């Protein structure tokens, strides 16, 4: 793999491949296909992939603390009607236990992007699935034990969540075409609460819409430029540092992984219509950007 050239990992043909998470214990990459209602796993050593059907559309996942001894781990999944604990079985079935349910403010909503903070507390946003409605009914939620509390409201399509290496800055975007903004927040690591929201990046003059993101060990903020076929890196002060191309128009989210955490995995979206110019859309790709990532915290819920 050359330094900046994307390599195909798996021609998954996902409708919306999202929430890639590197499992350092099993040395494999996990992610979800939202409309396909599937949890995916790709093993780096064998190159084999398998999937498990999920009971609802799943926006994001996090590896549960204390589950490393299980064959496929255990996953906290933010879905349509709440957060569930998912346990993949070797026979291809998926055990589900609800942890916290939610009363969405209107029909047709689900969870979208999210991840754990550095302390292992899950934070995830909700959205109206029909983006053409442009309804700002989404909120950012915190999972505290067996309950969900709203931290911020008024989002159309919350996305791009990530935390600085020291955990004291939280990043969040709204990828809807009407918004296209990335914010930074001061993050209280004691209470798990964001405050002092400010604009970090105005994406409107840039290439693509801000989608899923990751932070490297140096504090660089990597975010997918949806519709532009690019993955951008920004410095902590919001300066565009570099843009790396991927062979599809809609990269969805990125995550660092591999044995040295020096591979940037990128999931993608496979839209309808003519795909002759991007036949690998919906696949998973890998880049070697020359920086290392950080291990994702285990979810303590």
Residue 30 has which token pair? Answer: 């996990």
Q: What is the DSSP string of 83-130?
A: EEEEEE-TTS-EEEEEEEE---SSSSEEEEEEEE-TTS-EEEEEEES-
Distances (CA, A) of 233 to 67, 136, 242, 264: 32, 27, 5, 12
Among 132, 162, 170, smallest CA distance to 224 is for: 162
Three-class DSSP category at 266: strand
The distance between the two most distant Cα atoms of the chain, rounded to a whole number of Å, is 50
Clarify whether 211 is annotated catalytic.
yes
Distances (CA, A) of 76 to 34, 143, 186, 244, 284: 15, 10, 25, 31, 22
How buried is 148 (Cβ within 10 angstroms: 0-12 exposed, 13-18 middle, 19+ buried)?
A: buried
- Per annotation, catalytic residue among 33, 113, 174, 211: 211
Q: What angle do CA 54, 214, 150 make, to 5 degrees?
A: 65
CB 242 within 8 A of CB 233: yes
Q: How remote is the C-alpha of 151 from its chain's centroid?
A: 19
CB 41 within 8 A of CB 276: no
CB 283 within 8 A of CB 10: yes
What residues are labeled active site?
211
């Amino acid at each position: 793999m050359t330094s900046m050239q994307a390599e195909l990992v798996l021609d998954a043909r996902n409708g919306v491949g999202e929430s890639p998470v590197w499992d350092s214990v099993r040395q494999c990459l996990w992610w979800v296909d939202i409309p396909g209602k599937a949890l995916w796993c790709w093993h780096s050593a064998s190159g084999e992939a398998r999937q498990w059907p999920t009971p609802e559309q799943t926006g994001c996942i996090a590896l549960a603390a204390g589950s490393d001894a299980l064959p496929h781990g255990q996953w906290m999944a933010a879905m349509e009607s709440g957060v569930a604990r998912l346990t993949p079985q070797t026979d291809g079935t998926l055990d589900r236990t609800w942890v916290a349910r939610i009363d969405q403010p209107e029909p047709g909503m689900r969870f979208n992007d999210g991840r754990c903070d550095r302390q292992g507390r899950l934070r995830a946003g909700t959205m109206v699935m029909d983006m053409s409605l442009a309804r700002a009914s989404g909120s950012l939620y915190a999972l505290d034990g067996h309950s969900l509390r709203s931290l911020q409201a008024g989002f159309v399509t919350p996305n791009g969540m990530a935390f600085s290496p020291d955990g004291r800055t939280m990043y969040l975007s709204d990828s809807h075409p009407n918004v296209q903004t990335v914010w930074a927040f001061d993050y209280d690591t004691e209470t798990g609460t964001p405050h002092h929201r400010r604009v970090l990046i105005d994406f409107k003059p840039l290439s693509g819409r801000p989608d899923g993101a990751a932070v490297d060990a140096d504090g660089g903020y990597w975010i997918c430029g949806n519709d532009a076929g690019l993955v951008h890196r920004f410095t902590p002060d919001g300066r565009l540092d570099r843009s790396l191309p991927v062979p599809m128009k809609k990269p969805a989210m990125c995550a660092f992984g591999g044995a040295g955490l020096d591979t940037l995995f990128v999931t993608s979206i496979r839209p309808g219509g003519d795909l002759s110019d991007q036949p690998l859309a919906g696949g998973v790709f890998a880049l070697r950007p020359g920086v290392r990532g950080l291990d994702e915290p285990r979810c303590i819920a």
